[in-house]
Amino acid sequence: MPDKTKNWRADFTHLEEGTILVRVQSVDGAPVSVADAHDLLANDPEFRDFLNQALAESPNAGFFWETPAVSTGTLRDPFQFVLVDGPILLSLSPDPAPFSRQFDTLPETESVAAFPNLSGDAFLIAPAPVSNDLLAYTHLGAFVRNAPAGQIDEFWKTIGQAIQARISETPIWLSTAGLGVSWLHTRIDTRPKYYRHRPFMADPV
């Protein structure tokens, strides 16, 4: 059976020390647009597997994942992101307690929670502790390499659905941080609150 993840390729470019820029392309070299990437995340398990494999192959053991600002005006832009080396993430101990209420109310058929943060300026996507290996949930690098495959797929699908539902003329930022709460969570933010890669902090032109 053909490997459908080979429909795309990830182009890695090393920027400043510890930061890797990743651009996603189809096999013919055409860039995958932001809109297409979001649609593929929400609807295509092969693309979700491809993206997860690309992140798992990062030379950085722990990393912060950051995308440029997204709005209706950027949907035709090439889909890209950075992986910023985060060795500090490797020293964290997993702590699901801050999200326990969201995890406890998840339906039995679901393993990923999606909910607004306390201040209401961000929307969070966090995997529930379904694996006995809680270290798999400390940061994104650990998760993409060690979490259960079904939960990994649900995580990326939920991100795709959540970002599609929030696209408007007002820019939003998609990223992981992880130093405030030692449990993997993706942030859909109204501002680049915890960004490390300065070029991606800018509003869309």
Q: Yes or no: say if 37 and 79 are a contact pair by the CB < 8 Å rule.
A: yes
**For 77-109, how does the pLDDT look when each residue is reduced to its tens digit (9 = 90+)?**
999 999 999 999 999 999 999 999 999 999 999
Q: What pLDDT is recorded for position 2? A: 40
Question: Does position 1 have pLDDT exceeding 60, yes or no?
Answer: no
**For 115-131, how does the pLDDT look when each residue is reduced to its tens digit (9 = 90+)?**
999 888 899 999 999 99
How many residues does this entry show for the chain? 205
Q: What pLDDT is recorded for position 5? A: 58
Which residues lie closer than 8 Å to 95 by C-beta, 6 or more apart? 181, 182, 183
**For 171-180, how does the pLDDT look when each residue is reduced to its tens digit (9 = 90+)?**
999 999 878 8
- Measured CA to CA, the distance from residue 188 to residue 14 in angstroms comes to 25
Which residues lie closer than 8 Å to 3 by C-beta, 6 or more apart? none
Question: Does position 205 have pLDDT exceeding 80, yes or no?
Answer: no
Determine how many CB atoms are found less than 10 A away from the CB of residue 51.
25
Closest-CA residue to 66 (of 199, 202, 205, 197): 197
Domains for the chain: give ranges and CATH numbers. Answer: 8-88 (no CATH), 93-195 (3.30.428)
pTM of this prediction?
0.95
Q: Is 47 helix (H, G, I), strand (E, B) or coil?
A: helix
